[in-house]
Amino acid sequence: MMSARRVAVLFFGLPRALKFTIGSIRQSIYAANQCDGFSFCTFASLNLVQRLHNPRTGEVDVGLDPADAYLLDAQHYALVPQDDACISAPLAAAQRRGDAYDDGWSSTRNLLQQLTSLQRAWSLCSAGAHGRFDFFLFVRPDLQYLDDFPLAKLAAAFRGEGSIALPGWQRHGGFNDRFALADPAAARCYAERLALVPEYCEREPLHAERLLAYALAKGDCQVCALPVRAQRIRAQGNVVAETFSGWRHNLPRKPQRFSFDPKGRPFFRRHFFI
């Protein structure tokens, strides 16, 4: 009898809306795949803030309960108070190039904090005591997932080392970085891209989706579509209107390597995908 394929589920970012999103996480990941021969080991590396103040998102001085993180019922936790001191070096590298988001470095700081929690999650699950994993599922806890993760279908489509499945919507000239399923080689490229920030910023201003494309290209990864939609949920429970235009067709169904066009946008074969 074939043993269950082991999946490491890595939660990263802020646990700001878990009481609104936990139902979709349980259904879309665990319940949807319970009969498909997968076993899960869950890691939650989350940044904690007592009060969230982000006027751009409408979250003005919102109190957050750190205990919400435990709704994930993860097997391993790394809950760390968010502190700008830990991002000082990559932030300085980004500030030498320019603010891609033109919002006083607020979005850049948020991106670097998220990448820090992602790096911490990777270090946590890479510890030898946890054994070998066949796949790595990277998940933001502040998203409401609208579709089930088809893990068996994606696993069957993966071919060769360095395969990763990503959402096809809102690519913004690179690849959507909100969640992913990857094999071990591609997972390392996805999770460790914080280290590439200084190198990337020698080329252009720091940009989330384009940084991901750069990291995957550097790792010679193959990309395919992860056919799952998700909505961002703010701390007060507000749902962000998302655009899913072309989400089923913007990425290949099976993993393919990609190149960059003259404007630095990734493309596959003869077709451009923006």
| Domain residue spans of the chain | 5-272
End-to-end Cα distance, the chain: 44
User: Digits of tens for pLDDT over the chain (274 positions)?
Assistant: 457 899 999 999 999 899 999 999 999 999 999 999 999 999 999 999 888 777 777 777 788 888 999 999 999 999 999 999 999 999 999 999 999 999 899 899 999 999 999 999 999 999 877 889 999 999 999 999 999 999 999 999 998 899 999 999 999 999 999 999 999 999 999 999 999 999 999 999 999 999 999 999 999 999 999 999 999 999 888 899 999 988 888 999 999 999 999 999 999 975 544 4
- From residue 50, alpha-carbon distances to 47, 93, 229, 235, 257 in Å are 10, 28, 29, 12, 42
Give the integer Cα–Cα distance in Å for 265 and 249: 16
Of 238, 232, 218, 219, the closest CA to residue 178 belongs to 232
Of 242, 81, 93, 257, the closest CA to residue 159 belongs to 257
Q: Which distant-in-sequence residues (6+ apart) come within 8 Å of 167 by Cβ?
A: 176, 178, 179, 225, 226, 228, 229, 230, 247
At 273, list the tokens.
Answer: 């995908």
Q: Are the C-beta atoms of 198 and 90 separated by less than 8 Å?
A: yes
User: CATH classification of 5-272 is 3.90.550, yes or no?
Assistant: yes
